[in-house]
Amino acid sequence: MSTPAPTTPTIQATSAPQGAGTSSTPTTAPARSSQREGGNSLGTFGVKSGLAQMLKGGVIMDVINAEQARIAEEAGACAVMALERVPADIRAEGGVARMSDPQMIKEIVDAVTIPVMAKVRIGHFVEAQILQAIGVDYIDESEVLTPADDEHHINKHGFKVPFVCGARDLGEALRRISEGAAFIRTKGEAGTGNVVEAVRHSRAVFSQIRRASVMNEEELYLFAKEIQAPFHLLKETARLKRLPVVNFAAGGIATPADAALMMQLGCDGVFVGSGIFHSGDPAKRARAIVQAVTHHNNPKILSEVSEDLGAAMVGLTIDGNLKGGLMAKRGH
């Protein structure tokens, strides 16, 4: 694919306000996109962002092989993220982290019926072309991999497959949407098993949305400049009182309580990577996290599903000694 011509997103979004605590119900596993079968019905921003709506209320789990993908599906994951190493291992092992082997991704695609996502490096539009050719359901342009371009993100409008991108605040989220991202996840700090950054980023997004929602047009122009966001997307976000696309939390979620915390803060769902397959009993923990997202407002159920889960992943504190540094700072 040569450099695709940008198009302005036609925003289609739900009108439910975000950040005030939601009561999302679990989705049934969404059907895979026609992309996999080589269909050409994907492509408009409305279709791509609409597909992501089907994942709301769900848990997307990182998996590194077909066996883990089956465990994730059986546990009730709404999608899986195929990657060679979970973020905790990328962080521990270091080196350049790239798109996974297409053969491994295809094995995961063949192993499950739920949607399969896979990651490309920030700015690496050729990795994205390859993943689109394989027929993955979503591409994650991810700071968890080593960036390929320290200035430019991929122009995502030219792809038929929907993209998910990370953000630490509202400006970053709206910049990604203006490039064509149909799905936003707050970045958190992947591979740490420490939820503090996920909380920080989600709170930042929601509080900026709340501020924007009471601004008049003149104030919104100034705020758009301040947070480096496209004005028309900021205005739409202020009107909707939420991001105009689905917004999951990611990075450091390791327990059912962490997952429920992110949902009560107002996220539409969660990504969990290292926290499941770096724990003592991945299948049990995976099921518990799915239950916790579904019943995130019910402390009694949260207490039941949190019992006897075996060892949680060993977490890392976020400080100057963090091995691998802050992944969330990649891309801006």
Binding residues for D-ribose 5-phosphate, as ranges, are: 62, 191, 252, 273-274
Nearer to ligand 5RP, 18 or 142 (CB): 142
Q: Are 80 and 100 in contact (CB under 8 A)?
A: no
Determine how many CB atoms are found less than 10 A away from the CB of residue 43.
16
Task: Rule CB under 6 A: say whether 251 interacts with ligand 5RP.
Answer: yes
Please, what sign has the CA dihedral across residues 38, 40, 45, 47? negative
Is residue 119 annotated as a catalytic residue, yes or no? Answer: yes
Task: Rule CB under 6 A: say whether 275 interacts with ligand 5RP.
Answer: yes
Long-range contacts formed by 41-45: CB under 8 A, 24+ apart: 42/160, 42/161, 42/162, 43/160, 44/10, 45/7, 45/9, 45/10, 45/11, 45/12, 45/157, 45/180, 45/182
Angular region, 95: left φ>0, alpha ψ -120 to 50, beta rest: left
**Which range in 14-22, 170-178, 185-193, 299-307 contacts ligand 5RP by CB under 6 A?**
185-193
**Which range in 11-19, 63-71, 245-253, 259-267 contacts ligand 5RP by CB under 6 A?**
245-253
Task: Rule CB under 6 A: say whether 256 interacts with ligand 5RP.
Answer: no
> What are the tokens at 16?
């439910």
Task: Rule CB under 6 A: say whether 86 interacts with ligand 5RP.
Answer: yes
**Which range in 40-48, 104-112, 248-256, 290-298 contacts ligand 5RP by CB under 6 A?**
248-256
**Which range in 50-58, 83-91, 106-114, 302-310 contacts ligand 5RP by CB under 6 A?**
83-91
> What are the tokens at 251?
């990075």
Number of H helices, E strands in the chain: 13, 8
Size of the site for ligand 5RP (CB under 6 A): 20
List 57, 76, 87, 315, residue binding ligand 5RP (CB under 6 A): 87
Task: Rule CB under 6 A: say whether 191 interacts with ligand 5RP.
Answer: yes
Task: Rule CB under 6 A: say whether 286 interacts with ligand 5RP.
Answer: no
Catalytic residue among 48, 56, 106, 119: 119
Task: Rule CB under 6 A: say whether 252 interacts with ligand 5RP.
Answer: yes
Q: Are 180 and 55 in contact (CB under 8 A)?
A: no
Distance in angstroms (rounded) separating the CA atoms of residues 234 and 184: 15
Least separation, in Å, of the C-beta of 185 and ligand 5RP? Answer: 6
Q: Are 284 and 309 in contact (CB under 8 A)?
A: yes
Near ligand 5RP in 6-35, by CB under 6 A: none
Distance in angstroms (rounded) separating the CA atoms of residues 271 and 153: 21
Task: Rule CB under 6 A: say whether 144 interacts with ligand 5RP.
Answer: yes
Task: Rule CB under 6 A: say whether 253 interacts with ligand 5RP.
Answer: yes
Task: Rule CB under 6 A: say whether 273 interacts with ligand 5RP.
Answer: yes
Q: Which residues are annotated as a binding site for D-glyceraldehyde 3-phosphate?
A: 203
Task: Rule CB under 6 A: say whether 247 interacts with ligand 5RP.
Answer: no
**Which range in 51-59, 149-157, 222-230, 246-254 contacts ligand 5RP by CB under 6 A?**
246-254
Nearer to ligand 5RP, 86 or 260 (CB): 86
The SS3 call for residue 49 is helix
Near ligand 5RP in 124-143, by CB under 6 A: 140, 142
Q: Are 273 and 313 in contact (CB under 8 A)?
A: no
Task: Rule CB under 6 A: say whether 331 interacts with ligand 5RP.
Answer: no
Distance in angstroms (rounded) separating the CA atoms of residues 7 and 157: 6
Angular region, 19: left φ>0, alpha ψ -120 to 50, beta rest: left
Q: Which residues are at the interface with ligand 5RP (CB under 6 A)?
A: 62, 81, 86-88, 140, 142, 144, 185, 190-191, 250-253, 271-275
- Looking at the annotation, which residues are catalytic? 119
